[in-house]
Amino acid sequence: MDVNKKKQEIIDVGWNTIDYLLDIAKEKVITGDKEEDLSADKLKNAAAMYKLVITDAFDIVNRISEEQDMLEGKVKEDEPKKKNRKGFAERMANVGD
């Protein structure tokens, strides 16, 4: 099994994921329909969804860039790699702070 080939496949899937997330972010939540429910709860959920989609997209793009740089040999070995020790739930718990 060629590890670099598999990493490249993962990178390609990552770019497809970014495209999917962008499609979600472009969807209109508020359509302007007179009968549409514009409650504060719905607006708050929509804003949270957009924020999550955008944050996830940036996280994925940054990780893809790091992996592509490593595959191309652009990352120096003595350069410390930044690691986020927090998981998804921990990062999201601090979003409102």
Q: Kindly report, residue by residue over 20-67, the tens digit of the pLDDT.
A: 988 888 887 777 777 776 777 888 888 888 899 899 999 999 999 999
How far apart CA 40 and CA 33 sit, in angstroms, is 16
pLDDT reported for residue 27 = 82
- Number of folded domains that form the chain: 1
Neighbouring residues of 23: CB distance < 8 A, sequence distance ≥ 6: none
Q: pTM of this prediction?
A: 0.62
Domain that holds residue 9: 3-93
